[in-house]
Structure 1
Amino acid sequence: MITESDLADWPKISTDNAGRLDDGNVFIGPTESEARLLKLKHFVFADSQDLSKRPLCYDSSVDGQLLAASFEISDVLIWRLCDGLLVQRLQHQGHAYKVNSLSFSPISRTLVSGFDDGSAIVWDIPSGRALLRLEGHSGPVDQVAYAPNGALIAAASGGDKSVKLWDALTGTCIQSFDFDTWGQICKLAFSPDSLRLYVEATMTIFVHDISTCACTMKIQGSLKAHNSFSISRQGDRIAHHGSDGPKKVWIYSTVTGGSDLTLHHPQSLSSPMAFSPDGTEVLVSLHADKTAVTYDSRTGKLRRTFKLSDSGLRCPAYSPDGEYVVIGTWGGNLEVFDAKSGALLAKLKAGGHLTDIQFVPDTQTLLLELKDKPPRLCYIQDIMRMR
Structure 2
Amino acid sequence: MARSSPHDKSVRLWDASTGACLQSLSIDKDKGVDELAFSPDGSRFYIKLFYSCSIYDTETYTHIEDVDAVSWAMSRQGDRIVTTTETDKARVKVWNATTGQELLAINEGQTQPGLVTFSPDGGEVLLTCEANETVSIYDSWTGQLRRTLRPSNIPRFVMYSPDGKHVVFVDEHKGVEVYGGKSGAFVGKVEGYGDNAKCHAAQLLPDGQTLLLHHSIGGPRGDDRHVHLYNIRDLVRIR
The alignment's TM-score, normalised by the length of structure 2, stands at 0.83
Partner of 1:358: 203
Q: CA-to-partner distance for each residue in 1:212-234, whole Å, 9 max, x for gaps?
A: 1111121244xxx5xx2222222
Q: Return the structure number with greater relative CO, CA threshold 8 A, min gap 6.
A: 1
Look up the SS of the partner of 1:243 in the other structure.
coil
Asked whether the 8 Å contact 1:315–1:357 carries over to 2, the reply is: yes
Match status 1:249 vs 2:89: no
Partner of 1:192: 40
Shift of the 247–368 alpha-carbon distance from structure 1 to 2, 3 Å rule, reads farther
Shift of the 357–199 alpha-carbon distance from structure 1 to 2, 3 Å rule, reads same
After TM superposition, the structure 1 = structure 2 runs for residues 264-279 of structure 1, keeping only pairs within 5 Å, are 264-279=107-122
After TM superposition, the structure 1 = structure 2 runs for residues 24-63 of structure 1, keeping only pairs within 5 Å, are none
Partner of 2:171: 329
RMSD: 2.3
Q: CA-to-partner distance for each residue in 1:333-387, whole Å, 9 max, x for gaps?
A: 2110001111111011352333443322353222224464444332224439xxx
Look up the SS of the partner of 2:85 in the other structure.
coil
Look up the SS of the partner of 2:141 in the other structure.
coil
Partner of 1:294: 137
After TM superposition, the structure 1 = structure 2 runs for residues 311-326 of structure 1, keeping only pairs within 5 Å, are 311-326=153-168
Asked whether the 8 Å contact 2:43–2:58 carries over to 1, the reply is: yes
Q: Select the structure that is richer in helix.
A: 1
Q: Structure 1 counterpart of 2:181, which letter?
A: A
Partner of 2:228: 376
Look up the SS of the partner of 2:206 in the other structure.
coil
Runs ≥4 in structure 1, deviation > 4 angstroms?
none
Q: Provide the aligned length of Structure 1 versus Structure 2.
A: 226
Shift of 1:312: 2.1
Q: Which of residues 168, 181, 186 in structure 1 aligns to 2:16?
A: 168
After TM superposition, the structure 1 = structure 2 runs for residues 83-98 of structure 1, keeping only pairs within 5 Å, are none
Q: Structure 1 counterpart of 2:131, which letter?
A: A
Match status 1:340 vs 2:185: no
Q: Which of residues 168, 173, 179 in structure 1 aligns to 2:27?
A: 179
Q: Structure 1 counterpart of 2:205, which letter?
A: V
Look up the SS of the partner of 2:230 in the other structure.
strand
Asked whether the 8 Å contact 1:283–1:294 carries over to 2, the reply is: yes
Asked whether the 8 Å contact 2:202–2:212 carries over to 1, the reply is: yes
**Unpaired segments ≥5 residues, structure 2:** 217-221
Q: Select the structure that is richer in strand.
A: 2
Partner of 1:201: 49
Q: Structure 1: how far apart are the matches of 2:88 and 2:44?
A: 28
Look up the SS of the partner of 2:156 in the other structure.
strand
Shift of the 158–207 alpha-carbon distance from structure 1 to 2, 3 Å rule, reads farther
Q: CA-to-partner distance for each residue in 1:47-96, whole Å, 9 max, x for gaps?
A: xxxxxxxxxxxxxxxxxxxxxxxxxxxxxxxxxxxxxxxxxxxxxxxxxx
Q: Structure 2: how far apart are the matches of 1:267 and 1:240?
A: 14
Q: Structure 2 counterpart of 1:259, which letter?
A: E
Shift of 1:182: 3.1
Q: Structure 2 counterpart of 1:307, which letter?
A: R
After TM superposition, the structure 1 = structure 2 runs for residues 83-162 of structure 1, keeping only pairs within 5 Å, are 153-162=1-10
Shift of the 308–233 alpha-carbon distance from structure 1 to 2, 3 Å rule, reads same
Shift of the 333–181 alpha-carbon distance from structure 1 to 2, 3 Å rule, reads farther
Asked whether the 8 Å contact 1:191–1:234 carries over to 2, the reply is: no
Match status 1:285 vs 2:125: no
The alignment's TM-score, normalised by the length of structure 1, stands at 0.54
Asked whether the 8 Å contact 2:165–2:182 carries over to 1, the reply is: yes
